[in-house]
Amino acid sequence: MSTRTTFEDRLLDELKKEIGRREPKASVRPLFAARRIAVVAVACAAAWIGTVALPGSPAESTAVAVEPRGDDGVMLTVKDPSISVAAQHDLAEKVSSWGIDVTIDVLAPGYVCERSKVTPIAVIDSHGRRMPLIPLKIGSNIPLHRGNVLAFENTKGSKWPRAVEVYKTRAEAEPCVPVKVTLPDD
């Protein structure tokens, strides 16, 4: 197990720090708090991507690695969460020989597959309105076995998949039924 902090861990730490800094000022300038959080998130993402993209960085150039395991399965290691749709198709070819089906869905912004069961996070836009923020769901080490379905859920216009999920099936992969993400009424 690696002791190296992940992008998600660093992003969460930065968001916690930002929330701590804005709490005393929340009633004075709530509009800028959401912007600062977004700026911090983008800065963290840019810093992380920069370390991956720089020559001589510890990361390899491929986004994912597939290694056979002793239990007739494979381990999918996600090294770079910005897995392109083309790379997803290449991966589908690799894992199909192990009896693993892959679905790749590209959805309009604001939509997710019904099977994802997403719980959105409420954020405030620049006009003070509550809007849903759809969280990413990408693991770094994903064990796969014959009969599993590896599902990539992409948002049109984004280079990051919104979700990389695995589920078991006895027949065919479950089709993606697009659902608009909304916030529950309070």
Per-residue pLDDT of the chain (186 residues; tens, 9 = 90+): 456 677 777 777 877 877 777 665 444 455 555 556 665 555 555 555 544 443 333 333 367 888 888 777 888 888 877 788 888 898 888 888 888 888 899 989 888 888 888 788 788 888 888 888 777 777 778 888 888 888 888 889 887 788 888 877 766 777 889 989 888 775
Rounded CA separation 43/107 (Å): 26
What values do phi and psi take at 95, rounded to 5? -85, -10
Query: In the prediction, which pLDDT does 184 show?
Result: 74
Beta strands in 84-160 (DSSP E): 101-107, 111-113, 121-124, 130-133, 137-138, 141-145, 148-155
Residues 164, 146, 104, 76: what is their CA dihedral angle, to the nearest 10 degrees?
Answer: 40
In this structure, which amino acid lies at residue 141?
A: N
Residue (of 59, 76, 99) closest to 152 by Cα position: 76
Cα maximum dimension of the chain: 59
Q: Partners of 148 in the beta sheet? A: 168
CA distance 150 to 94: 12
Domain ranges of the chain: 1-59, 61-186
